[in-house]
Every structure is written in structure tokens, then in C-alpha cells.
């Protein structure tokens, strides 16, 4: 790192930087074609009632199997889709597909769809929700939209107004990954979320004896209760975590313990086997 060696450091670093940019460029190129090529599918992960363990809803999770890159993780392609605004048409496809699939489920089971800030701030957002509901015939009360705190960072007024439009249709709104982002609680006063999803990091922390995580979950549950919102604990993997979540009073649980994200076909299959929850955890 000396000044003399700086030249060499420069030349060894640049190719790596270039390779990264090149990889991203190729991924973007493929992502642009992915909708047309029908490379996307949705997986569905159950959310269960903490006490009865019955399925309350499924969260739709996007999967991309690219011709050039194979299976690409959402952690990689979702941010890219957001940066390029490709998330707008992709998100419209997700909404339509999820609503269509949910029509095959028992009527009390909801579908949850993740919505990025880019989508929410697009002027066509509410109309695209209406289109997905109308084309599928799904009742609005069975559609839950998941947003994260980050949507309030850019244009809080516009984000709120977009959410109010879909709430007026009868859709539910969940606050995803709660506690990991920008946590001004002001918007909890203004928007009636149906559910606060407590991020997996707190669930994990609490189960391993982290006092702060435990205190935070307790506080979130108490706050949600008094605001007439419910809580979902995300990412419960072990019996210990499930037990702790129940004791803390979270009403809903999602996580590998009760079921991994699965194909639409497997999700449908669960309804034919009433004791699926136990089958899943034993698997
Ligand atoms: P998210 O909305 O918080 O979804 C939960 C993530 O946690 C999913 O990852 C799920 O597979 C994973 N998960 C669930 N239970 C467990 C568990 O017990 N243990 C562990 N380790 N993980 C668990 P996935 O499917 O990779 O999705 C990652 C993120 O990508 C999502 O986080 C969401 O923010 C985003 N995403 C996925 N699908 C969509 C979509 O259709 N649209 C948008 N805008 N974002 C999406
Ligand atoms: Mg989510
Ligand atoms: Mg989440
Ligand atoms: Mg999370």
C-alpha cells in the first residue's frame, strides 16, 4: 500500500472490478429476457397459526432459473431488478401469478406478495393490483402485500398513498423484516398494517439467549397488540425457536420448521393432507 507499490495495487485491483461489472452486465442482459423466456417461477412458503399450526397463508417467493446463469439467488437478482426498474414488469407478473394460484386454495388461505419500493412508487401500481385481482377473480381480502421500512425512505407520502389505494380495495399490508431497517415508528401511526413480520435475526438471537433480541420481540408484540396488528415471526427453524415464539405471543410463524418454500403443486398438495405440518417438520 506504499506510494511506490500503488501502481501495482492499482493494476491488480482493476481487473477484479472490471470482472464484477462485466458479470453484472451479463446478468442484467439475461434478466431483461427472463420474463419473455418464462424463466421465472414462484415458490410458496406456509405461514402457520402459532397455536393450531394450521396454514393461514403462503408467501410467494420469486425464483429465477436462467438459461445462461442457472439458478440465481433472489438476494442477487432482486436488487439488480430494482436498480434497473425491471422489478416493475416482473412484479406485475408475480402479482398475477400469485393471485391466479391462490384461487386453487381453500378460501381462508391468503397469499402474500413482496413489493419493492420501485414498484410501489410506479404510477401503475394500484391498477396492476386491480388487474391481478380482476383477472384471477381473487377477493382482495385474500391478498397481502409485504413491504419493508425502506419504502418510506424515498418518498414517504407517495408510498403511503399507494398503500392506502390498495388498502381501500381490501388488501392487507404487512411490514416485512421489521427491525432491520430504518426504524422511525412514525408511519405505524399513519398506516394500518395488518401484520408486522419480526425479522429472523431477532428470532435466532432470542433462541440463543440474546437478551436484547428477546426484549425487542416482546416490545414489538406488545406494540402490535395495542395497535391492533398481528405479528409473524420469520425464519423459525428449530423446535426451540418455535416454542420461544409461542411464549412471546407472536400469533403467526413462518420458517423452515413448518415448511420450506415449495412449488405451487406441492403447496396445493398440502391441503390434501391435514397433518402436513408434522410431515414437513419430520422430513
Ligand atoms: P423475505 O420477503 O423476507 O422472504 C423471506 C426469506 O427468508 C425467503 O428467502 C425465504 O426463503 C427465507 N426463509 C424462510 N424461512 C426461513 C428459515 O427458516 N431459515 C432461513 N435461513 N431462511 C428462511 P428468498 O426466497 O431467498 O427471498 C429473499 C428476499 O428476496 C425476500 O425476503 C424478499 O425481500 C425478496 N423477494 C423474493 N421474492 C420477491 C418478489 O416476488 N418480489 C420482490 N420485490 N422481492 C422478492
Ligand atoms: Mg417477505
Ligand atoms: Mg421477510
Ligand atoms: Mg427477513
Instruction: Say what the pLDDT of residue 4 is.
Output: 46
Q: Do residues 170 and 142 make contact, with C-beta atoms less than 8 angstroms apart?
A: no
Nearest CA to ligand 1 atom 26: 74
The rounded distance, in Å, linking the Cα atoms of 173 and 182 is 18
Residue 263 Cα to ligand 3 midpoint, Å, equals: 19
- Check if 177 has its Cβ closer than 6 Å to any atom of ligand 1: yes
Instruction: Say what the pLDDT of residue 274 is.
Output: 57
Residue 72 Cα to ligand 1 midpoint, Å, equals: 13
Work out the end-to-end distance of the chain between its first and last CA atoms, rounded to an integer number of angstroms. 52
b vs e for 190-200, b when ≥16 Cβ sit within 10 Å of the residue's Cβ? ebebbbbbbbb
Residue 99 Cα to ligand 1 midpoint, Å, equals: 18
Atom of ligand 1 nearest to the CA of 119: 44
Instruction: Say what the pLDDT of residue 11 is.
Output: 54
Alpha helices in the chain (DSSP H): 6-34, 74-83, 87-102, 117-120, 125-136, 151-154, 156-169, 186-190, 200-207, 211-226, 239-248, 264-270, 276-282
The rounded distance, in Å, linking the Cα atoms of 233 and 199 is 7
What are the cell numbers at 147?
413491504
Atom of ligand 1 nearest to the CA of 62: 38
Nearest CA to ligand 1 atom 41: 62
The rounded distance, in Å, linking the Cα atoms of 216 and 206 is 9
Instruction: Say what the pLDDT of residue 26 is.
Output: 96
Paired with 230 in beta bridges are: 195
Per-residue confidence of the chain (283 residues) as pLDDT tens digits? 444 444 444 555 667 778 888 999 999 999 999 999 999 999 999 999 999 999 999 999 999 999 999 999 999 999 999 999 999 999 999 999 999 999 999 999 999 999 999 999 999 999 999 999 999 999 999 999 999 999 988 899 999 999 999 999 999 999 999 988 776 688 888 899 999 999 999 999 999 999 999 999 999 999 999 999 999 999 999 999 999 999 999 999 999 999 999 999 999 998 876 544 443 433 3
Amino acid at each position: 500500500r506504499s506510494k511506490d507499490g500503488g501502481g501495482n495495487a492499482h493494476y491488480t485491483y482493476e481487473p477484479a472490478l472490471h470482472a464484477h461489472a462485466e458479470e453484472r452486465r451479463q446478468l442484467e442482459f439475461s434478466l431483461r429476457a427472463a420474463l419473455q423466456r418464462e424463466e421465472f417461477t414462484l415458490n410458496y412458503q406456509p405461514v402457520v397459526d402459532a397455536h393450531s399450526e394450521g396454514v393461514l397463508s403462503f408467501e410467494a417467493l420469486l425464483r429465477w432459473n436462467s438459461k445462461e446463469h442457472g439458478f440465481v439467488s433472489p438476494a442477487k437478482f432482486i436488487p439488480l431488478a430494482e436498480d434497473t426498474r425491471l422489478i416493475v414488469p416482473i412484479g406485475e407478473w408475480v402479482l398475477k401469478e400469485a393471485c391466479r394460484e391462490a384461487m386453487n386454495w381453500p378460501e381462508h388461505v391468503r397469499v402474500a406478495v413482496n413489493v419493492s419500493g420501485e414498484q410501489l412508487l410506479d404510477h401503475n401500481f394500484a391498477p396492476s393490483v386491480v388487474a391481478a385481482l380482476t383477472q384471477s377473480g381473487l377477493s382482495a381480502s385474500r391478498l397481502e402485500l409485504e413491504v419493508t421500512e425502506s419504502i418510506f425512505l424515498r418518498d414517504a407520502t407517495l408510498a403511503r398513498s399507494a398503500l392506502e389505494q390498495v388498502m381501500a380495495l381490501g388488501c392487507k399490508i404487512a411490514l416485512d423484516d421489521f427491525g432491520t431497517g430504518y426504524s422511525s415508528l412514525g408511519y405505524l401511526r399513519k398506516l394500518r398494517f395488518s401484520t408486522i413480520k419480526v425479522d429472523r435475526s431477532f428470532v435466532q438471537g432470542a433462541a440463543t439467549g440474546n437478551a436484547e433480541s428477546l426484549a425487542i420481540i416482546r416490545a414489538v408484540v406488545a406494540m402490535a397488540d395495542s395497535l391492533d396488528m398481528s405479528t409473524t415471526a420469520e425464519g423459525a427453524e428449530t423446535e426451540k425457536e418455535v416454542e420461544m415464539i409461542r411464549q412471546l405471543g407472536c400469533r403467526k410463524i413462518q420458517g423452515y420448521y413448518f415448511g420450506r418454500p415449495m412449488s405451487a403443486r406441492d403447496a396445493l398438495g398440502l391441503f390434501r393432507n391435514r397433518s402436513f405440518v408434522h410431515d414437513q417438520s419430520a422430513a
